[in-house]
Each structure stands twice: as structure tokens, then as C-alpha cells.
Amino acid sequence: MIPTQNILYIGPYREESSRGFYSYMNIKALEKAGHKLKIIPLFSYGKLNNKFSQEIEHLEENNLDKYDVCIQHCETLDYAYNSYFKKNIGIYDFGNFDPNPMVNSNVILLDKIVVSSENKKTILQNVLSQQLHQNIIVSPQLININHIRYKEKKELDWPDKNRFYFYSELDFSEQYDWEKLIYIYLTSFMNKNTGLIIQTKDLEEEKIKLLKNQIYSMATAAKVKPVSSAMPQVLNGVYDEENLLTIHNSVDCLIDVNKSNEPSYSALCFAINDKPIICNKYLTTADYFSKAYRVDGMICNSSMIYNNDIMNSSMNNYYYTLDGEQLKNAMLETYQNRYKTKNIDIYKQEINNHDISQINNILI
């Protein structure tokens, strides 16, 4: 048990993004642990969601006489050291597999560097000097377990209760193996009693229409006759927790096709509800759960668009893309096992590692 700390937390908790969820849950965990907080929002690239952050916005009004800890959940170029704080902690939330050594110079200023998985720790150690390795600690994304486990199980109105629904959260961008997922679904599962629900960010309506046309074109190119009732469904711009949990309750299997290394809030929710998870074995989701269906991948070079031209010209980015045949087999196995009796609390021990009570680990 550590004493109550006065904490200044700077992060993107108002963003409608995975980073926003990550930051929000950290703040909720610190508050529940009894610490006194002053929070300051950062704005980078996510759409704002006021409903999402209203539970903690009162902490923005706090002004404490002194601060023991400063937690900075921001880009590495923005890390700063201030001797006013007894401890300066940075949350290193990079999204790809090759963090640029040029932007890590500020990391050496910090007393601790927090990453969300062992995989990220290994990656970061590869670009930092040996003496800094001891400053890196792993604090997985946290969640209020009982809040999810005992919440009313609301479901969407429109899904066919007799279908087995695969579900994936993605942007229609190079960061996700979305074309591979849709192709496998169209060619191997659409003629079965299945469905595919894709939840994406707030895209323009015209973009959604183009994507739906592209999905039909993919079916035609693969010589598959589209079944209108079984075609992939796109849910656009649903990110607040209440709606996410409603979607989770309405589907049967999570497929994480993110090529990068983001923390997965939805994976934690699926595990709490004891639903199967399919993911790339190199990603954070696989790092969380040993019993997830792990799909091999191959490394490929990719270019990311950054606002900073220096970063854009100096960074090499590497993603692990999913093995298509293994992804199909994992989907087939979860579908074939849909009627089998569920194992009780198959993820129970691993889920306990993500309870918000674990937040004090980053303050020790």
C-alpha cells in the first residue's frame, strides 16, 4: 500500500480514440485508488467526445498546493523534466513497431517510462541505452472488471440472433489488415450462418458509401454471389463506452486486425464476457491473453504520415501483417465451436492483471 499522492496527469483523455480510452482508464484508476489529481487535456488527432470524459472533467478544476508526481501521456518530443515534481513519469504509447531513436532523446529525462505490454518494452529497449532499461515498466491497459462484468447486457436491435457474428474495430487504412479480413469472410463464411460487423471511426457518409461499394466489388472479383443479409456491416462513429459494450454483447468473436501495437480495450471486455479473441500473435492483445487465438504474421515495411517532416523522412515503420490462411482457420475454429459449452472464466487469471487496482504499480 503506497501513500496518497498528489498527481498532475497530462493526457488525451478527451479524444475519441484508443489512446483516449487508455488515458481515461488510467485517470479513473488513479482516482479510485485514492490519489488526488489535477488533469490537463492534450489534443492531437482524435475526435473529441465530451460524453466520454464527463465523469472525470471535474478533475480539471482541481488545483493542488503541491504535486508529487507528473504523468505525461504525450508524444515523446513533448516529454519534459521538472524538478518541481518528485517523480516524472512518461506513458510511451507509440503505435508502430519501430520507434524512432531520434525522438527518444527526451525519454532519458524521465524517472519512469510506462508501456502497456512486454512486447512494447522489448521494442523500446532496442532503441534505448542499457542503463535506461531499468526505468521501463509494464502497466497493461486497465479496466474496472466488475463495472463490465455486472453491467446490464444490452444488445443491438437488428442482428439476427441465429447468426454467429465476427466483430472487428478498424480504420479503413494501411494500419489494419481489413481487406484480408473481408476477403476471407466473403469467400469462406458468407454462405454460412455468419455475419461480420465492423466498427470504425466517424467517417464521412460519402466514404462509407464508397467502402460498401468496394466490399461488393471485392465479392464480385472473388466470384462470390453477395448475400445481402450476410454482407459485412459497418457501424460508423460509435466510440463511447455504453455503445461499445452494447455492440460487444451483440457479437460472438473479436478479430483484432490492427498491424500496430495499440492497447485493446475491447479485448479486455471480450475476455471478461468469456468470448473468443483472434489476433496477431505479435500484438498487445496477444500479450494480454495466452488463450487467445494467435495468428502468425510477416513483417513488412510501411510508410506512415506524420505532421512532422523530420520524423516523416527519418522513420522506418514496420508492421506485422496477418497470415491469411491461419486467420481463416482461426475464424473457422471459433465458428465450429459456437455450440460447445463455454469454459467458465477461461481468462479469469489474466483479466485480474488488468484490474484498475493495479495502477499503483506505476507509482512505486
Per residue in 86-101, pLDDT (tens digit) is 999 999 877 655 555 5
Residue 77: per-residue pLDDT? 79
Mean pLDDT of 59-78: 92
Mean pLDDT of all residues in the chain?
84
- Do 190 and 327 share a domain, yes or no? yes
Q: Quick one: cell of 70?
A: 507528473
- Do 187 and 298 share a domain, yes or no? yes
1 part of a folded domain: no
- Do 128 and 212 share a domain, yes or no? no
299 part of a folded domain: yes
SS3 216: helix
Q: Which of 286, 292, 297 is nearest to 322 (CA)?
A: 297
- Do 302 and 180 share a domain, yes or no? yes
313 part of a folded domain: yes
Percent of the chain with pLDDT strictly greater than 70: 87
Q: To 10 degrees, what angle do helices 241-250 and 265-272 make?
A: 50
Cα distance between residue 295 and residue 282, in whole Å: 9
Label residue 51 by pLDDT band (50, 70, 90): low
Mean pLDDT of 35-50: 81
Number of domains in the chain: 2
SS3 269: helix
- Do 197 and 335 share a domain, yes or no? yes
Q: What is the pLDDT of residues 284-340, one digit of tens each?
A: 888 888 889 999 988 776 654 444 443 444 445 667 889 999 999 999 999 999 887
173 part of a folded domain: yes
Mean pLDDT of 168-193: 91
285 part of a folded domain: yes
Of residues 105 and 328, the one with the higher pLDDT is 328
Of residues 100 and 143, the one with the higher pLDDT is 143
Mean pLDDT of 332-350: 81
How distant, in Å, are the alpha carbons of 13, 67, 87 from that of 28? 10, 18, 20
pTM of the model: 0.83
Mean pLDDT of 242-264: 86
Whichever domain contains 163, its CATH number is 3.40.50.2000
Tally Cβ neighbours within 10 Å of residue 54.
10
Note down the domain range covering 38. Answer: 6-142+355-362
Label residue 67 by pLDDT band (50, 70, 90): very high
Q: Quick one: cell of 63?
A: 488545483
Of residues 319 and 23, the one with the higher pLDDT is 23
331 part of a folded domain: yes
Of residues 34 and 53, the one with the higher pLDDT is 34
- Do 239 and 91 share a domain, yes or no? no
